[in-house]
Amino acid sequence: MKLDLEEQMGGGSAQSSHILVFPFPVQGHMNPMVQFAKRLVSKGQRVTIVTTISSSKSLPTLNPTSFGSNLRMEFISDGSEQVKGGSETIEESIERFRIATTKSLTSLMTKIRNSSDASQYPLKFVVYHSGMPWILDVARRQGIDGAPFFTTSLAVATVFHHVHEGTLKLPLEEPRAIMPSMPPLELNDLPTFVSDVESYPAFLKLAMNQYSNLKKVNCIFFSSFDKLEKELLKWMESQDWPVKMIGPTIPSTFLDKRLEDDKDYGLSLFKPNVETCMKWLDSKKPGSVVYASFGSLADLSIEQTEELACGLRNSSFNFLWVVRESEQDKLPENFVEEISGKGLVVSWCAQLQVLAHKAVGCFLTHCGWNSTLEALSLGVPMVVLPHWADQPTNAKFVEDVWKVGVRVNVNKKSGLATKEEIAVCIKEVMDKEKGMKFRKASLMWKELAKEAVDEGGSSDKNIEEFVAKVLLI
pLDDT tens column, 243-260: 999 999 999 999 999 998
Given a cut of 50, whether residue 457 has pLDDT beyond it is yes
**Would the pLDDT of 6 be above 50?**
no
- Helix (H) or strand (E) holding 401, with range, is none
Rounded average pLDDT over 229-238: 96
Residue percentage of the chain with pLDDT more than 90:
70
Max CA separation in the chain (angstroms): 65
Strand boundaries in 372-468, DSSP class E:
382-384, 405-407
More confident residue, 67 or 125: 125
Per-residue pLDDT, 60: 47
Q: Which span out of 325-334, 336-345, 454-463 was modeled with the highest average pLDDT?
A: 454-463
pLDDT above 90 (res 290): yes
CA Rg value for the chain:
22
Higher confidence at residue 403 or residue 333?
403
- What is the number of alpha carbons within 13 Å of residue 53 lying toward its C-beta? 12
Burial tier of 85 (Cβ tally within 10 Å: 0-12, 13-18, 19+):
exposed
Q: From CA 127, how far away is CA 467, in angstroms rounded?
A: 12
Assigned CATH for 5-266+455-472 = 3.40.50.2000
What H or E segment, with its residue span, contains residue 123? Answer: strand 123-129
Residue among 343, 276, 312, 257 nearest 425 (CA): 312
SS3 for 32-88, per residue? Answer: HHHHHHHHHHHCCCEEEEEEEHHHHCCCCCCCHHHHCCCEEEEEECCCHHHCCCCCC
pLDDT for res 10: 39
Backbone angles phi, psi at 231, to 5 degrees: -65, -45
Cite the residue boundaries of each domain of the chain with CATH code 3.40.50.2000. 5-266+455-472, 274-448
- Residue 191 pLDDT greater than 50, yes or no: yes
- 8 vs 83, which has greater pLDDT? 83
pLDDT in tens, 36-65: 999 999 999 999 999 998 877 655 444 544
Residue 1 has pLDDT above 50, yes or no: no
Cβ contact 41:70 at 8 Å: yes
pLDDT reported for residue 171: 85
Cis peptide bond upstream of 171, omega within 30:
yes
- CA–CA gap between residue 211 and residue 223 (Å, rounded): 17
Q: Is the pTM of this model over 0.85?
A: yes
**Which residues pair with residue 318 across a beta bridge?**
289
Say how many Å lie between the first and final Cα of the chain, rounded.
28
Confidence of residue 12 (pLDDT cuts 50, 70, 90): very low
Average pLDDT in the chain: 90
- 185: pLDDT confidence band, cut at 50, 70 and 90? very high
- How far apart are the C-alpha atoms of 279 and 277, rounded to whole Å? 6
Domain 274-448 adopts which CATH fold? Rossmann fold (3.40.50)
